[in-house]
Amino acid sequence: MPVELTDDQRLALFELVALAVNDGTEVIRIELQNLKTETGQGLGSWEVVIQRTAE
What pLDDT score does 19 carry?
93
Total-model pTM:
0.70
pLDDT the model gives residue 1? 82
> DSSP assignment, residue 16?
H
- The reported pLDDT for the residue numbered 55 is 73
Is residue 32 within 8 Å of 47, Cβ to Cβ? yes
pLDDT at 54: 81
Tell me the per-residue pLDDT of 2-48, one tens digit each, with 9 for 90 and over: 899 999 999 999 999 999 999 999 999 999 999 999 999 999 999 99
Beta bridge partners of 29: 49
